[in-house]
Structures are given as C-alpha cells and as structure tokens.
Amino acid sequence: MPPKSEKKQRRGTTSSPKGRFTHVHRETWEEDGEEGTARTTEFFWEDSKSLLTYNDSPDIPIQAGLNPYRGCEHGCIYCFARPNHAYVDLSPGLDFESKIFVKKNVDRLLIDALRKRKGSAETITMGTATDPYQPGERKYKNTRKILEVCLKFRQPLAIITKSSLVLRDLDLLSEMGRLGILKVFVTVTTLNSELWSALEPRAPSPNKRIEAVKGLSEAGVPVGVMFAPVIPFLNDSEMETLLEKAKSSGAESAGMVFVRLPYEVAPLFEEWLGVHFPLKKEKILRTIREARGGKLYDSDFSQRMTGTGNYAQLLRTRFRLATRRLDLNHRGTIRGDLFRIPEEYQVLASKDQDLLPGLF
C-alpha cells in the first residue's frame, strides 16, 4: 500500500486532453513532472438559471434529472459524464475530477421549480451525471439542501451514488422512505480492492458501499444496487458474487450497464488500460468493439446501455438469471401522489425568490 499522503493524491488520470469544442491548445509545465497526481481540487461557484433537466431518451427510465455539482472528484476513469466539462472549455481528463463547480442556491432553484407544478409529480433522479455525495458535499451540503426541499414538498426522488456519505442523511432519507417517495441506488463496480483503487481512486471502497446498502436498508430506505459499468475481463466475472453480497446486505433490486466510452472518454480509457492492464488492453478493447458494432462507442438508443453480439447477450443472460435467483427484481413504485406545495410557498411569485423564508 502507498503511504497515506501519496494515496490521497491519486487521480483517475494524469492527462488533460482538450475538449472537443476548444480551439486553444494549453500546456502546463511542472518541474517534478507530477502535475497530474499532485493537483489540488478546486471548487468554483456556478450560477444556474434552472436546476432540473429533462430526459427524452427512450432507453433511460428517467424523467427529470438533477446534479448538484458539475465535475466529480471520484475520478472514475470510465465516467461517461467526463465530456460535459468540454462545455465549459475545460478538459474531460484531469480538469473533470479536479475543477468542480458547485451550483449556487440549489434550494431556491428547486423550490421555484416545484412551486410551478400541479397535481402529482414525476420522479426526479439525482446523480445522473456526477455523484451527489462526492467529497465536496461534506463542505457545501448541496445534496442535503435538496433533500430537505424534497421532503418538505413530498417530491418523489431517486438517488444514484457510490458514496457511503449517503448515510449522513439517514434522518431525511428514512422519513422519505417511510413516505414511499424515495429510492436509493448504490453503484458497486467491483469488490476487488486493487481494481477499485485504480478504477475509482477517490470513491469510497467496495466495503464502504456495501455498508451503505446495509445501513440504508436497516433504516427503512428502499435500496437497489447498480453493477455498473461492466468492463470485459476486468469486473465481469464478479457479477454473481457482487449481486449476492448486495442481496445479503438488503438490496431489493439491481441494474446493470455495459461500459460506455463517448467522445473523450475512449482515449482516456485506452491510455488508462495501457498503464494499469497493458497485457489485457487489446483483449478488452476488442471485446468492447465487438459489442459496439466495431466501435468503442455507439450512441444508438437501442443498444448503447447494453451492447450487441454474443458477449453482450451472455452478460444479459447471466444478469437475468442471477437477479431472478436472488429475487432482486423488486423495482417498487415511488409515490408521486403525495406531492404538495407548502402553504408558505403558494403565494410567492417567482420574481420574489429573495423573500423565500429560510428552510434550514
């Protein structure tokens, strides 16, 4: 094991490829040649006009999405959201995991959006692009602010995270679970600590995530596990063992996503394989291409989450049999009929946001 100080500095990548929209080339010179691993995480405030995004992709069962942060310090090399940093003229590589944008006034933005609704409400999914419980949440508490608003409005919510920090908010989550307006999905990519440390260098360990599943379940929070992404010849062999561990810890359901490598993620992932798994690199990439019609990524809605071909079909069969055997198919329903607009917000106009009474 590396010394504690060295381990803390690890990053998913040391590369900073320019985003696909920038025409400016930048070079950073560091005397010791270790700029990538020694870079300190920076946080920036981001003004947003709205907090919610809406999905019209037929292959994703998400109606509305919400992300309290842009960028993610977890540094997972495979993260499909890395290309989002190109929209702010930053690198999907090292910048994505070291330059984090904190959205301002998330509670007020969400209140303003929810006040405009009538009748039952669609479920909002938090964590569709970046983890709502990444390390910066300890300081900025954007996610907790959002939970407090959702509970007050009885807004149905789903959370996707790979962080044990979710247990900090059990007071709110357990109440939302009791009302039936919440489900939490914990992503567990591997149970192998060596693979985890290279694949997801600043995310909580596999044991911590399993503990999170157990803690949520014991607190009465409906919890599922996401085995994602599945990477050929790296973590695919763990499927059944991982799902069994999740079931014994209280998971009610499970999902699976085949590895996605859009835009700048593909070359970053190839580079990472060359560093960490050089002997497996070509075999892994060849299998991904076979499942993606000869490419490393295909955005077609019909197969981008699952892939095609013999290997992808085998994964789906294994997953179906394992979840059936383990009874991990309790999807449940998140209630939307309890949604309400608290009395103190019913008469305020949108332009009067500054007059909103304090929630916290």
The pLDDT of residue 305 is 78
Q: CB count, 10 Å around CB of 238?
A: 19
Please answer whether residues 243 and 225 qualify as being in contact, where contact means their C-beta atoms are separated by less than 8 angstroms.
yes
Residues of the chain under the 70 pLDDT cut: 1-9, 22-38, 59, 347-360
Task: Check residue 38 and give its pLDDT.
Answer: 67
What is the pLDDT, as a whole number, of residue 350? Answer: 44
b/e burial code for range 99-111 (CB count within 10 A of at least 16 → b): bbbbbebbbbbbb
Q: Please report, as a single letter, which amino acid is at residue 255.
A: G
Tens digit of each residue's pLDDT (9 = 90 or more) over 264-302: 999 999 999 999 999 999 999 999 999 999 999 988 877
53 strand-pairing partners? 65
Q: What letter would DSSP give residue 230?
A: E
Residue 264's closest CA among 84, 128, 125? 84
Q: In Å, how far from its chain's centre is CA 351? A: 33
Q: Which two tokens stand for residue 158?
A: 């789903």
**Measuring CA to CA, which residue among 305, 339, 332 is closest to residue 319?**
305
Specify the pTM.
0.89
Question: SS3 for 315-347, per residue?
Answer: HHHHHHHHHHHHCCECCCCCCCCCCCCCHHHHC
- Segments making up each domain of the chain, as ranges: 7-24+33-326
Written as six digits, the tokens of 133 are 């419980």
Q: Would you say domain 7-24+33-326 falls under CATH 3.80.30.30?
A: yes
Are 154 and 161 in contact by the 8 Å Cβ rule? The answer is: no
